[in-house]
Structure 1
Amino acid sequence: FFKIMVNFSESREGLEQLAIEADIALLVAEAVDDPIAVKSASYATKRQIMVDISGKNIMGVPVPVIQKSSVALNVMERGYGLIGTSSRINEAAEKFEAEMDMIIRLAETETTLRRLGNEIQMNRRRVNALDQIIIPELKEQARYIRFSIEEREREDLFRLKKVKKLIERKKLKKRMSKTTGR
């Protein structure tokens, strides 16, 4: 879990850096080239990204598995003419495609981490409830049961002694009555 967390943190930092680079590339493309040409190229490349989301279990926790085709396209697949666009627009497109690839990849990892973290937190609460509430209650009940059993044993012993004395008295009375002759 913690290895995944460290890896995710590093990847998240990489994503932030990639986003900054993509924004800078877009600003440069808009500054040098015509903003209308940049917008036109972006409209020409609009498409859907196909992702297949399935699930798997990690230690009983359902987590998503995201499979996708690469978002990055080569220059010929982007749908705009090479003559009307500059290399700056292509560079901005490449950086945004790389950013989108990383976002989709990190979405799976982040969701997995959140679900595992929630499960760990829930189990921690259960363990704390056991330690703080249930186990002390069970110990108290065990002490009460032990006390009750000891009390019953003392009462039984007392009764046995009383019965034994009664029996001895009766025997003594019988012997006395036999010796006196009545």
Structure 2
Amino acid sequence: MEQVKPTRMELMKKKAQIKLAEQGRDLLREKMDALIQEFFKILSSVSDSRDELDQISRAADLALMIAAATDDPVTLRSASFATRRSITVGISGKNIMGVPVPVIEKKRVSKSMLERGYGIIATSARIDETAERYEVELDLLIKLAETETAMRRLGAEIQMNRRRVNALEQILIPELRSQAKYIKNAIEEREREDLFRLKKVKSLLEKKKKKVREKKVKMGIQESD
């Protein structure tokens, strides 16, 4: 505590710092609570989407296995090459409680039979079903990428806010309170010492006055009122 000046001005300063730190802690707690609510909203959506993706993925793999087992391999391979194309997505952003999260803007991957690029006469309904199921899977994957990224960023922000709250609550505020207590105790101790010195001086003065009066009495000097 050597660096802390035990003055009333310093005590007022420490009390103001404690109040400010407590306000900051409370605001961070409120923000963290709001972030946690948003996090669990997205988590519920992600959990449902993952379950749906798991079902769609199994259905797509099964459709491919059936098509591979029953259709001409050359036709199946030609159809897969015909449908191969890049997927263009636009990424913008939005804020959730001050946390930037991505928003993926895209065109729907799922297409009609005529849009897929292969001849509908040479292919079977099984190939059409396989293509359709994988297109749905891609749509859901892109949607899931957006929500999972938002969830990860919210989670990181929650952790950072928790560390800040803990730092304020467990380190800074206790340290400021300890300094304020030290200053208060030092001031009170100094005041007690000052009071003791004043009482001692007063006692000495009283003794001196008493001696003077006694001396005057002995000398027969009458004190005037």
- Give 1:54-133 correspondences, 5 Å limit: 54-133=92-171
- Fraction of identical pairs, as percent: 63
Report whether the alignment pairs 1:8 with 2:46: yes
CA distance in 2, matches of 1:158, 1:11: 77
Equivalent in the alignment of 1:168: 206
Equivalent in the alignment of 2:77: 39
Q: When the two structures are superposed, what TM-score results if normalisation uses the length of structure 1? A: 0.90
CA shift digits 1:65-93 (9 cap, x unpaired):
11111011111111111111111111100
Over 4 Å off, 4+ runs: 169-179
Q: 2:89 aligns with which of 30, 51, 73?
A: 51
Unaligned runs of 5+ in 1: none
Which amino acid letter does the alignment assign opposite residue 179 of structure 2?
Q
CA distance in 2, matches of 1:146, 1:94: 76
SS at match of 2:119: coil
> Number of matched residues?
181
SS at match of 1:64: strand
Unaligned runs of 5+ in 2: 1-38
Which amino acid letter does the alignment assign opposite residue 138 of structure 2?
M
Equivalent in the alignment of 1:149: 187
Answer with 33-42 or 71-80: which moved more. 33-42
- Superposed CA RMSD in Å reads 1.8
1:34 is displaced (CA, Å) by: 1.7
CA distance in 2, matches of 1:160, 1:38: 106
Question: More relative contact order in 1 or in 2 (CA 8 Å, sep 6+)?
Answer: 2
Equivalent in the alignment of 1:29: 67
1:35 is displaced (CA, Å) by: 2.1
CA distance in 2, matches of 1:143, 1:34: 86
CA distance in 2, matches of 1:35, 1:167: 119
